[in-house]
Each structure stands twice: as structure tokens, then as C-alpha cells.
Structure 1
Amino acid sequence: MRHIRTFATATTLAVLPLAAFAAPVDLRLITMEPGGSWYSYGSTFSEIIQGSEGENELNVEVLPRGGGMTNPVAVSQGAADLGFVSASAAIWARDGIGEEFEGREANNALAIVGGLQLAYTTIAVRRDYVEKSGLTTFDEMVASDNPPRFVLKPAGSQVPILANYMFEALGSSLEDMRDRGAITQISTAQIAQMLRDGTADVYIENAPVGQATMSEVTLTTPMVFVPASDTVLDHMSELGAPAANMPEGSYPGQEGAYRTSMTPTILIANADMDEEVAYQLTRALVEQREKIAEAFPALAGWDPEKGAQPDQAVIELHPGAARYYRERGWIE
């Protein structure tokens, strides 16, 4: 009987799946406070990562207390292992650009997947203002002795930072334009009303196509999407907001594709993450793309192959992620 039990035990061990012997690895995924899109994405991404097959048994804790300016620093400093960030904020944090990151560079983070959600920087102007002023480009408006009234979200949003860099490319700044009486920062809920009332002329936004406020604005007020020059777009590209075409017909009043800056949402990892762990979770997320798209219509346009390219990943890829993308033939 002893030999029978020994044989049975050996047989049982032989048929156990390899996952039973996988090394457990605990990961922390930083998102944002409940109510935000990144918080919603966190639950599905963590579920996919935890169900992934590979050398490691991955466990994920979602940290719902991050944000656009917090997450790159948290991941880089090891307070989190993974995090959703805007690609532009990842660049600012990496290079210590702007007062938000000066002196606290976050250069120990690498990209896992890019291009999850493309947010376009839009410059929407009341058609009535364009017709009366004769100013048809962003550059002309900034240079005007009598500039239009720009309306932006309050501090804490990426929009004022992006707007400042746009002004900076033309030799001005947000502070300079504010001193000229051209800037109003107000809650999103009031922006559409100001444009309808004619108490604001230009609405600068950074958001995915279909964003609620921009949709309301373009449906209730005749608007024109005015272009920025290559000088502005090139400067924005250097700061992690590459040039891109917002698709034709994204909003009423948009004629043809709109050339502008784009800030992708990317998933980053601490650079010290084990390469095999990064490979395993990258493969799981990419191969569960349909599940992600089904759960979140805003991510239905995510193309993992395009997201692996420099213009959508923006920062350097983690070696584990890069290995998976090479296997797919998506990068060299």
C-alpha cells in the first residue's frame, strides 16, 4: 500500500498545472479617486493581470488615491508598481518640467502599454468671434493687441499647463495672458454657458472625442476649431504631447481632420519591475483587448500595436513589454 500511495502522489504532482508552482508577486496599481475613468479601468485591468498565465502568480491591489500629477511620481518612487498616467505628465515628471515636478523628477518609470485613450488638445472658438475679429488661427489670437477671452479649467487640471506651454511657444505664458485680462479659469459646468452668453470666446480643452462639455458647447453654440502653427505643435511634441489628427466629424463645426496635439493615456511600471512580470502582464492586457473594449467604450479604439510605438507610448518601454511587442513583430 505504501508504494501505491507514493505512486499516486507522484502522479498527482505530475498533472498539477505549472501555475500551481508560480511565484506569488504582489503589485500595486495606482489609479485615481472613485468617479474617475482611471479608477474604473483599474478593476478590469487588475482582474486581467491576476488571471494571467506565466511564471508568476500576480496579485494586484488597486490604490484609488492617485491622479494625473501624482501617479508618475508614485510609480517612479516605488509607492506603486503600476499606474495610469497621461503621457505628457510622464514626460514632465521624468524631466522635472514645470513647478509641479521641479526638484522631484520621476525618472524611474517605463511604459507598459501606450495609446489607451487619446485625448486631443482642442482650440474651439465662437464662430461669431472669428467672423467679427478676422482672426483665424491660435497664433494670431495670442499675438493680437486685443486678444480673445480664453476660458480654461481651474488649476489641478492638465489643461492650464498645456495652455501655458502653447502660449510659451509663441513667446507668451498663461500668466502674461492673465495679466492682459484674457484668461478665465472656471468649473467645467460653467464653460458652455459662458460661450453661449458670449462672455468667453475661446475654449481650450484636452479630452477624448465625445467629452461631455465639448459636445455640449459645439451643439449649443456655433464653434470653429482653429489651428495652431507648427511652432506650437513642435513645442508641444517635445513636452510629451505629439501632433496628431483628430478625426473628421468628431464634433459639429469641425471641417476635415483637425491637426493638433494629443496626449495618450498610458500604463507605466516602476523600472525595477522584474522583466518576466512585465512581460506576463503586458501579454495578458494585450490579449484581453476585446474584454477591455467591451467594458469601456472609451477604450474601444485602443490599438495595442500602435500603442507600442513611440508616438503613443511616448516614454521608453519596459524591457518586458518590449520583448512581448518584438515577439508580435510590432517593434524592432
Structure 2
Amino acid sequence: MKHIKTWVKAGALGAAIVAGMAVQAGAETRITYKSAKAGTSYYQMGVQLAEAMKAGTDGNVIVTLEEGQGSVQNVMEVRARGGDYVFTTPPALVGLAQGGKAMFKDKGDPAFDEIRALFPIPSLTMHFVMSDASGVTDFAGMEGKTILLGKGSFGAREGEKYLGLFGLEGKVKIADAELSNAVNALKNGQIDGFVTAGSYPAPNVIEAAASTGVTVLSLSPEQVAETKRTELVIPAGTYAGQETDITTTSLPVVAYTTTKMDDDTAYALTKTFWEEKAKMGESAPWWNGVSPAMLDNINGKIHPGALRYYEEAGIALSDAQK
């Protein structure tokens, strides 16, 4: 009888452990995802990611989207956040934060050293869009033309920088208008072209190409090198009338968390992202531009949970990322 009681107790204990594991496995994991301002393409990506995580995990991972006030602020909030925090920012900013440089000078914090990457999301991609009516097919042809840069955005600052780099400073007329008016202004002939930065295919470029006919300018290898940005190729056929690849520049953007996040959660987020990416791309083509090759843009370390997925998937990573 003693042996039977021992066996029953052991069996009950084993059943309790299994049941506990089952509850834990099916437990709901809540994540806060901080991206960009509401109304932007990156906020919309956050909405899509939240839906994909819920669908891909049968509701076990619930992502709550928070409006961000910019990539720098997203990084700064690491100091006060826990293991449920995921945020987006360019890899370069993480490096600056960890080095206490530029906008992070005198604002260093040990928490910055614990930032770890999960997966890339669509890059900010530069588009120099010229109307067919303008006849412009290269940067030299922009001389004497009216260009809309917009105001205050990454694309506006980058566009102005490129005009200077490529010898066009003071040689083009800069339109005084908001980027939201670009397509209508192009249709009406008020401008010859506009500059925009966003994930490709960019909605305003799609509209302009379909309604007006445009040429999106390509950069030469030398021009790309001058910008000190990451080269990106927009495949032929991305926009109406685009018969060849477009070589341009980009600012990579990555989803990050910190070492406070447990490995299993980081693994689940990363695995689900890549498994759901194709489905997301069916409704939002900008996801189709994301590939494992973009992991090369991550200079810092990748979260151990994400590393487990990449190793299982046979995706090569550098020693510095591990």
C-alpha cells in the first residue's frame, strides 16, 4: 500500500507539473510596441504587426501599440521600461546611445547596453520623384526645376543634403508647400518633382506614378557612397511604368527590445514575424521588401531568443551580433 500511495502521489505531482506547463505554454503574453506617430506608415506597420502576432500565436501574444514621438525618444524610454517593451529605431541610434554620443551625450545609461535586436522592418527609403512632363531622368537634369522637399522630416533633411552633395544647391527652386500636397502639385504642374522618404512602395509615389507618370531617379555607386547611407534597390515593376531597378539609399529600421525580455518571448516574436511576413505582404506590399539580408544592417547584438530562431532557420549572423 505504501508503494501504491507513493506512486499515486508521484503521479499526481507529475500531472500537476504537466498541467502547470500547459497553462504556462498557453498563457497570454502582453507586449507594448512603440513605433511612430499615429497616421504615419510606421504606425500602420505597428497595427499590422499586432494583428500578425495575434493571428500567428493563436492569441497567445497580444501586442498593444503605443504612439511614438520619434526614434530617439523610443530609445530613451528603455531606461524606464520592462521586459515587455519593443520599439523601433535605426541601428545607428542604438550605437550612439550605447556610446553616449550626439543626441545621447551626457544622457548615457547602463540600460542602453542591454538593447538587443529582434528583426528588421521596412527601411526609410529615399525617392526622388520627377514627373514625366519635366523630362528629368537624372540628378543633373534637376537644375532649374521646382522641387518639393517638405518640411522637418527625415526625407526633407536628407533631400536637402543630397542636393548639396550632388552640386545642385541653389540651382533648383524649392517649393514652399507640405509634402501632403506633392501629388496634386505634380498633377497640376506646379512642381516638377518631389522628394519623399518612406518604406517602399510608397503610397504617394504609387499615386503619382499611376496618375501622372513619373521617373524615380537612380543614384550611381559614387553618389550612394557620398551619402554615407545604406544602398537599397527598388525592383523593376514596383511602380507603374518602372521598367528597371532603381538604386537609392535607405535608413534601416529595426524592432528592438532589451535583455529584460525572456528568451522564449523574444523567440516567439521573431519566429512569428518571419512566418507571418508573407501574409502581411499580401495586403501591405512594403513587407515584401524585408528579407533576412537586412539583418546585416544590425551593428549591435541580437537577443538570444531571436538568435535561437535564426540558428534554427539556418540564417547566418556575424560573431558581433551573437
Tell me what 1:111 maps to: 117
> Which of these residues, 298, 312, 317, is aligned with residue 285 of structure 2?
298
Scaled by the length of structure 2, what TM-score is found? 0.73
The CA distance in 1 between the partners of 2:33 and 2:123, in whole Å, is 21
> Which of these residues, 114, 120, 125, is aligned with residue 125 of structure 2?
120
Cα deviations by residue, 1:142-194 (Å, 9 ceiling, x for unpaired): 7x5xx422212332x3211322442354477xxxx4x7773235334411122
Tell me what 1:166 maps to: 162
Cα deviations by residue, 1:115-157 (Å, 9 ceiling, x for unpaired): x3355322121233336xxxx422x257x5xx422212332x3
Are 1:192 and 2:183 an aligned pair?
Answer: yes
Cα deviations by residue, 1:232-252 (Å, 9 ceiling, x for unpaired): 31244x44xx21221112223
Cα deviations by residue, 1:235-270 (Å, 9 ceiling, x for unpaired): 44x44xx21221112223423111112344431223
Contact 1:120-1:262 within 8 A present in 2 as well: yes
Contact 2:96-2:102 within 8 A present in 1 as well: no
Partner secondary structure for residue 16 of structure 1: helix
Partner secondary structure for residue 301 of structure 1: helix
How many percent identity over aligned positions?
Answer: 16
Contact 1:277-1:320 within 8 A present in 2 as well: yes
Shift of 1:41: 2.6
The CA distance in 2 between the partners of 1:271 and 1:197, in whole Å, is 52
> Which of these residues, 218, 222, 232, is aligned with residue 244 of structure 1?
232
| Bigger helix fraction | 2
> Which of these residues, 267, 272, 275, is aligned with residue 279 of structure 1?
267
The CA distance in 2 between the partners of 1:171 and 1:271, in whole Å, is 46
Partner secondary structure for residue 236 of structure 2: coil
Shift of 1:72: 4.0
Greater mean alpha carbon deviation, residues 264-273 or residues 1-10: 1-10
Structure 1 residues 161 and 21 mapped into 2: Cα distance closer, same or farther (>3 Å)? same
> Which of these residues, 84, 87, 92, is aligned with residue 88 of structure 2?
84
Aligned AA (2:190): T
Structure 1 residues 207 and 19 mapped into 2: Cα distance closer, same or farther (>3 Å)? same
Partner secondary structure for residue 323 of structure 1: helix
What root-mean-square deviation, in Å, do the aligned CA atoms of Structure 1 and Structure 2 show? 4.1
Tell me what 1:55 maps to: none
Structure 1 residues 282 and 210 mapped into 2: Cα distance closer, same or farther (>3 Å)? closer
Structure 1 residues 220 and 78 mapped into 2: Cα distance closer, same or farther (>3 Å)? same
Contact 1:44-1:292 within 8 A present in 2 as well: no
Partner secondary structure for residue 110 of structure 1: strand
The CA distance in 2 between the partners of 1:164 and 1:78, in whole Å, is 36
Tell me what 1:310 maps to: 296
The CA distance in 2 between the partners of 1:102 and 1:141, in whole Å, is 40
Structure 1: give runs of 5+ residues left out of the alignment: 53-57
Tell me what 1:267 maps to: 255
Structure 1 residues 6 and 273 mapped into 2: Cα distance closer, same or farther (>3 Å)? closer
> Which of these residues, 218, 224, 241, is aligned with residue 215 of structure 2?
224
Tell me what 2:149 maps to: 152
Number of aligned pairs?
302
Are 1:13 and 2:16 an aligned pair?
Answer: yes
Scaled by the length of structure 1, what TM-score is found? 0.71
Tell me what 2:35 maps to: 31
Structure 1 residues 325 and 78 mapped into 2: Cα distance closer, same or farther (>3 Å)? farther
Are 1:44 and 2:32 an aligned pair?
Answer: no
Structure 1 residues 25 and 222 mapped into 2: Cα distance closer, same or farther (>3 Å)? closer
